[in-house]
Structure 1
């Protein structure tokens, strides 16, 4: 049972998809907090003390037209940090594992035998016959 589960996990892009969804969602909160609390104030400091931060007003004197560039930089930094963590902690190790399998150092997922495939076909045909 455990071997079958391992084979399922190692097949196709299951690992890539799981990593992207779970780790990306969980880690995004941490990165967003870091960039909002630490990076954005540092970027806004570049805008000077007379402004709302790093950016400009489309209509001078009207705060609702302020284009906040620090928010854009914040999003870019968040993306780069998240992508780096996902790549170095998950994608790179999985690629190394796949490479080791190609060289024959580690066994890959087991392929079903001819007998197992024939049994599966027999069971499917029996199920179709009982329905119809």
Structure 2
């Protein structure tokens, strides 16, 4: 059972997925920082609110149990985060697809094998001679 678990975890798809989740989480933090530190101060300067989530907050009903507040700005902030992440991912995927197309068309060599040095050629000739003498 442990062998099967090890085989499952070491498959390329699982490792790739784990890397994607970690990178996605880190990218989400970058976007949140961008919104908090760049977009929100601009919103504060325009609307006079500390951040976009406070813009268009409408109290529908006040009560002792709690207020019913319609938070349009908070929704808009989540939409803004989504648009930023989606745009960045679009450009990453487009770049990857273009690279794949170029590789398929032989415009970009996948990985070139280095040409052997003179010493390596000489050593391989010596090896071949020794093999032929041993036979």
TM-score norm. by structure 2 comes to 0.49
Residue 107 of structure 2 corresponds to which residue in structure 1? 105
1:39-72 deviations in Å (ceiling 9; x for gaps)? 346179278xxxx53131221x457211111111
Candidates 66, 71, 83, aligned match of 2:69: 66
Give me the whole-angstrom Cα distance separating, in 1, the residues matched to 2:99 and 2:31. Answer: 28
Unpaired runs of at least 5, structure 2: 1-10, 112-135
Residue 26 of structure 1 corresponds to which residue in structure 2? 26
Residue 86 of structure 1 corresponds to which residue in structure 2? 89
SS at match of 1:58: strand
Question: What is the CA-CA distance between 1:76 and the residue it aligns to?
Answer: 0.8
What is the RMSD computed on CA atoms of the aligned residues?
3.7
Unpaired runs of at least 5, structure 1: 1-7, 110-132
Larger radius of gyration, structure 1 or 2? 2
1:61-119 deviations in Å (ceiling 9; x for gaps)? 4572111111111111111111222222x31221011111332334569xxxxxxxxxx
TM-score norm. by structure 1 comes to 0.50
Q: Which has the higher contact order (CA 8 A, sep 6+)?
A: 1
**Count of residue pairs brought into register by the alignment:** 92
Candidates 64, 77, 80, aligned match of 1:77: 80
Give me the whole-angstrom Cα distance separating, in 2, the residues matched to 1:70 and 1:102. Answer: 46
- The 1:72–1:46 alpha-carbon spacing in structure 2 relative to 1, beyond 3 Å, is farther
